[in-house]
C-alpha cells in the first residue's frame, strides 16, 4: 500500500513541476534504486509493472505525439505494398532498372539496376538543429508515458531559444554520402544584406564521389539562408 502511494505521489509531483513524463524503462531505474537502498536487489522492471498495475486507475498511458500515431496507423500491409509497387513502376519507367529475369540468379529482389544508375538515385532528409532541445522531430516511435489527468504540467522545462537551423543529410542508392547542407535563419530582406561566418565551412572535410558524373569529383558542404531557416521550393531547386 505504502509503495503504491509513494509511486503515485512521485509521478504526480514530477508532472506538477512540469518535468518530462517517464517511460517504463526510466521508472524502473528509479524504483529499483529506491528499494535497493533498503537492502533489496532489484534490476528488472517487474516491481515497476506491479506498481503501475496497482495505480492504473489514477493514470493514463498514452503517446503525446499525435502525428507519429497517425503514421503508425498508416503502415498497413495494403499501404506498404502500394508504396513499394509505385516505387518499382517509377524506377522502371525512368530507365533506372529493369525487371528481374531467369538468368539473374545472383540478383536479390525484384529489380536489376542498370550500370551506374544507383549513383543517380539519392535520398535526403531534413532535421531540426534547435539549440534548446524543444524539437519533436526525432526518429523512432515515442515511448508510452504515465500521465495523471487531474494534475497540470508534464511539459519539458528548457531555456527557449529563437534560433533555428535545418540540416539536410542523405546518401545515394550506391551508398555514397550526400554532402551535408545547412539552412540558416536570416532576417535580411535582400540577398546583399545576409551575413554569415564561413570559416567553419572552410574547415569541413570535402566528399569525393561520382553522383552520376563521368568521373569522381569533390563536393563541399553547402549552406543557405532564408527568413525561416527551413527548406522550401527555392532552396530545393538550388
* 222 and 119 in a common domain: yes
pLDDT at 101 over 50: yes
- Extract the runs of DSSP E, i.e. beta strands, from the chain: 60-62, 97-99, 111-113, 122-128, 145-147, 165-172, 181-185, 207-209, 217-219, 222-226
Q: What is the mean pLDDT of residues 84-113?
A: 91
Structural domain contains residue 202? yes
Label residue 36 by pLDDT band (50, 70, 90).
Answer: confident
Q: Which helix (H) or strand (E) holds 35?
A: helix 24-36
* 54 and 119 in a common domain: no
pLDDT at 139 over 50: no
Q: What is the mean pLDDT of residues 177-206?
A: 82
Label residue 138 by pLDDT band (50, 70, 90).
Answer: very low
Q: Quick one: which of 84, 117, 125, 78 has its CA closest to 98?
A: 117
pLDDT score recorded for residue 91: 93
Structural domain contains residue 107? no
pLDDT at 4 over 80: no
How far is the C-alpha of 184 from the C-alpha of 192, rounded, in Å? Answer: 15
The answer to whether the pTM exceeds 0.95 is no
Are the CB atoms for 144 and 61 separated by under 8 Å?
A: yes
Are the CB atoms for 42 and 31 separated by under 8 Å?
A: yes
* 163 and 50 in a common domain: no
Residue 206 belongs to domain spanning: 115-237
Structural domain contains residue 123? yes
95-117 core/surface letters (b: 16 or more CB in 10 A; e: else) = ebbeeeeeeeeeeeeebebeeeb
pLDDT score recorded for residue 231: 81
* 232 and 134 in a common domain: yes
* 193 and 128 in a common domain: yes
How far is the C-alpha of 77 from the C-alpha of 112, rounded, in Å? Answer: 24
CB neighbourhood size of 71 (10 A): 10
Q: What is the mean pLDDT of residues 21-48?
A: 81
Are the CB atoms for 112 and 98 separated by under 8 Å?
A: yes
As a whole number, the mean pLDDT across the chain is 78
How many angstroms separate the Cα of 220 from the Cα of each of 79, 133, 155, 223?
38, 28, 40, 10
Number of domains in the chain: 2
Q: Of all residues in the chain, what percent carry a pLDDT higher than 70?
A: 77
* 204 and 134 in a common domain: yes
End-to-end CA distance of the chain: 64
pLDDT score recorded for residue 73: 76
Amino acid at each position: 500500500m505504502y509503495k503504491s502511494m509513494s509511486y503515485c505521489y512521485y509521478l504526480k509531483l514530477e508532472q506538477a513541476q512540469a518535468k518530462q513524463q517517464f517511460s517504463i524503462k526510466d521508472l524502473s531505474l528509479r524504483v529499483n534504486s529506491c528499494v535497493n537502498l533498503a537492502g533489496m536487489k532489484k534490476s528488472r522492471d517487474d516491481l515497476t509493472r506491479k506498481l503501475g498495475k496497482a495505480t492504473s486507475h489514477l493514470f493514463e498511458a498514452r503517446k503525446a505525439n499525435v502525428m507519429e500515431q497517425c503514421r503508425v496507423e498508416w503502415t498497413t500491409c495494403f499501404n506498404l505494398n502500394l508504396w513499394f509497387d509505385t516505387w518499382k513502376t517509377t524506377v522502371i519507367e525512368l530507365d533506372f532498372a529493369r525487371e528481374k529475369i531467369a538468368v539473374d540468379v545472383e540478383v536479390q529482389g525484384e529489380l536489376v539496376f542498370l550500370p551506374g544508375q544507383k549513383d543517380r538515385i539519392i535520398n535526403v532528409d531534413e532535421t531540426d538543429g534547435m539549440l534548446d532541445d524543444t524539437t519533436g522531430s526525432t526518429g523512432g516511435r515515442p515511448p508510452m508515458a504515465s500521465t495523471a489527468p487531474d494534475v497540470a504540467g508534464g511539459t519539458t522545462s528548457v531555456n527557449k531559444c529563437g534560433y533555428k537551423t535545418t540540416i539536410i543529410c542523405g546518401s545515394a542508392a550506391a551508398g555514397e554520402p550526400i554532402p551535408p547542407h545547412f539552412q540558416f535563419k536570416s532576417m535580411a530582406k535582400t540577398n546583399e544584406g545576409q551575413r554569415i561566418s564561413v570559416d567553419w565551412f572552410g574547415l569541413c572535410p570535402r566528399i569525393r564521389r561520382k553522383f552520376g558524373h563521368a568521373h569522381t569529383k569533390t563536393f563541399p558542404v553547402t549552406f543557405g539562408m532564408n527568413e525561416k531557416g527551413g527548406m522550401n521550393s527555392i532552396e530545393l531547386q538550388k
